Amino acid sequence: MKHLLFRAYYDPGVISENEIAEVLFGACDFSGAHIRTIGRHDFHPVGLSVFAILSESHASVHSWPEKNLVVVDYFSCSEKPDFDKFMFFWSDRGFRIEGNKTVDR
C-alpha cells in the first residue's frame, strides 16, 4: 500500500476548477488506476473538492484558488498505479508540484 500527498501551485486565470477535476481523473487513468465513481463539491465563491473512488483505493484534490493552491491525495492498495506518472500528469498540465511525500502503509 502506498500513499502520495502533494501540494501544487497553479494560475486560476489559466486553469479552471473544471479543469482541476479533469486533471485528477486524467492523472488516475494515466497512472494505471481504474475509476469506479466520482464526486465533487463546489464551494462558494470559489474552491472545490473532488474525489475518485478507485478499484485500487482513492484519489482527491482540494483547491484554494485565492492561494493558487491545490492539495492532492492518492492512495493505492495495489502496486500497479504509477505515482511518478500521476505527478507527471499534473505537472504537464501547468501545476507546479511542491512538498510531495510518498508513504508506505
Catalytic residues: 57, 62, 77
Distance of CA 16 to the CA centre of its chain: 14
Strand, helix or coil at 80? coil
Q: Residue 51 in 3-state DSSP?
A: strand
Q: Which residues contact 3 (CB under 8 A, 6 or more apart)?
A: 73, 74, 75, 76, 102, 103, 104, 105
Torsion angle in degrees (nearest 10) through CA of 14, 25, 85, 36: 170
